[in-house]
Amino acid sequence: MVSKMKYYISILLVLGGIYELGAALDAHYYDKTCPQAETIIFKAVRDALARDPKVPARLLRMFFHDCFIRGCDASVLVDSTPSNKAEKDGPPNLSLAAFYVIDAAKTKLEKSCPKTVSCADILAVAARDVVVLSGGPTWRVAAGRKDGKISRANETLNLPSPSSNTSQLIQGFAQRGLSAKDLVALSGGHTLGFSHCSSFEGRLRNFSAAHDTDPTLHPQLAAELKRKCPKPNGDRNAGQFLDSTSSIFDNDYYRRVAGGKGVFISDQSLLGDYRTRWIVEAFARDQGLFFKEFTDSMIRLGNVGVDESGQVRENCRLVN
């Protein structure tokens, strides 16, 4: 039994190794060609945050959307053209913003080390920096991603929906080589930021034949959300912060989900499914554990579909 166990564990380690080799990312990728790359990116992010507290949430979410569609290839950064409607103009783009921060970093990088640092790597580093600047953990971002040449609005339909249940979420993550643990740890990104009413309104009224309000939603939060979103398709700017400390990266999100106060069906369903409940509860109890697993899962997210045949865009909005 024990030796069989060891056998499985070593197979897993070998497969894990191959997976990482396949991505061919390297923590020292720019050491010779652009040693100042990370400093330039950090300063651009820090300067933007000094003027706009929404920057961390926006860049973290942007990285997730990038990696989930065509892998981490900066396809999310491409602008639409007359002949192509790009990802950023697809349906769930409402709160994608702060593209200017990536542009600012790219402009400085093109001056210091022209045609060297990919937009996909800039976004991966910026996503780490916003976590650090919000009080979260840090990690080394391995680099060497290339920028893709394709960005299509209709592919954003493949992003997980806020009304998905855990089975659907697990499936969507598995399609990208990510586990149920990655799902729970990365959903902790909702420790930052804000949602518009449209993303959770379905829980508040006419929820199902049996329940007018989603029964998994804490009554106190339900009342608060109904106050903020008084009628369907109302104020387009109205909404709710995703946790009580929406500019601090902490484990409050899990404590809220554990107490029935997740904002989306997708958040709350993590407590309702036996495969994820124990992980939510563990992160709610232990912030250090959440930080460690979030770091691990962000590295895994940053390896999704890495494109080695792409290019280094000169302008993140335009394919060369």
Ligand X SMILES: *[C@@H]1O[C@H](CO)[C@@H](O)[C@H](O)[C@H]1NC(C)=O
Binding residues: 66, 71, 73, 75, 87, 160, 190-191, 245, 250
- Mark the binding-site residues for Ca(2+), compressed into ranges: 66, 71, 73, 75, 87, 191, 245, 250
Report the nearest approach of ligand HEM to the CB of residue 231 (Å): 17
How far apart are alpha carbons 227 and 212 in whole angstroms? 16
Question: Hey, what are 211's tokens?
Answer: 């329940």
| Strands 239-241 vs 194-196: parallel, antiparallel or unpaired | antiparallel
CB of 235 to ligand HEM, least distance (A): 13
Q: Which of 129, 253, 241, 270 is nearest to 191 (CA)?
A: 253
Q: Which is nearer to ligand X, 64 or 249 (by Cβ)?
A: 64
Return the number of other C-beta atoms located less than 10 Å from residue 266's C-beta: 23
Which residue is associated with the tokens 């030796």?
A: 3
Q: State which residue, 189 or 305, has the beta carbon closest to ligand HEM.
A: 189
Indicate the residue among 148 and 172 with the shorter CB distance to ligand HEM. 172
Q: Is 312 helix (H, G, I), strand (E, B) or coil?
A: coil
Binding track over 9-48 against ligand X, x by CB under 6 A: ----------------------------------------
Which residue has 């029964």 as its token pair? 215
Binding partner of 52, given ligand X, ligand HEM, none, CB within 5-8 angstroms per partner class: none
Q: Which does 225 bind (CB under 5 to 8 A by kind): ligand HEM, ligand X, none?
A: none
> Which residue, 179 or 213, is less far from ligand X as judged by CB?
213
On whether the CB atoms of residues 303 and 19 are closer than 8 A, the answer is yes
Site string for ligand X, 79-108 (x = CB under 6 A): ---------xx-x-x---------------
Distance CA 112, CA 84 (A): 32
CA distance 129 to 11: 34
Q: With left for phi above 0 and alpha for psi between -120 and 50, is residue 71 left, alpha or beta?
A: left
Query: Which CB, 107 or 208, lies closer to ligand X?
Result: 208
Q: How far is CA 261 from the centre of its chain?
A: 20
Tell me phi and psi for residue 315, to 5 degrees. -130, 125
In the set 65, 196, 211, 218, the catalytic residue is 65
Residue ranges in contact with ligand HEM by CB under 6 A = 54, 57-58, 60-61, 64, 94-95, 160-162, 164, 169, 183, 186-187, 189-190, 192-196, 199, 264, 266
Q: Is position 28 annotated as part of the catalytic site?
A: no
Q: Are 293 and 137 in contact (CB under 8 A)?
A: no
148's contact among ligand X, ligand HEM, none, with CB below 5 to 8 A by partner kind, is: none
Active site positions, annotated = 65
